[in-house]
Amino acid sequence: MALKWQDANDIGYELFEAHEDVDPLSIDFQTLHRWITELDDFDDDRKASNEGALEAIQMAWLEEFRAE
């Protein structure tokens, strides 16, 4: 499945799987952006992200992190 910036919940889950022990609120947006674009299934324009998309992904990841 190809992940796009708007797939916040799916990307959040993938980030949780890749970085289980990392509190999503402990990383900056630059690191978050890099980790997203490094996901195997990520297939979108690296430059098409914005603060709103990164925030939505971070919050989706936080939900997974807190549910654990």
Residue 52: HSE in the Cβ half-sphere, 13 Å Cα cutoff = 2
CATH of the domain at 22: 1.10.10.600
| Confidence bin at 3 (pLDDT 50/70/90) | very high
Integer-rounded Cα Rg, in Å, for the chain is 11
Amino acid at 29: F
Range of the domain at 31: 8-67
Give per-residue pLDDT as tens, 26-40. Answer: 999 999 999 999 999
Give me the pLDDT at residue 68, please: 81
Q: Is residue 1 part of a domain?
A: no
Q: Is residue 3 part of a domain?
A: no
Q: Is residue 20 part of a domain?
A: yes
Q: Is residue 43 part of a domain?
A: yes
Q: Is residue 29 part of a domain?
A: yes
Give me the pLDDT at residue 64, please: 96
Give per-residue pLDDT as tens, 38-54. Answer: 999 999 999 999 999 99
Give per-residue pLDDT as tens, 6-24. Answer: 999 999 999 999 999 999 9
Q: Is residue 15 part of a domain?
A: yes
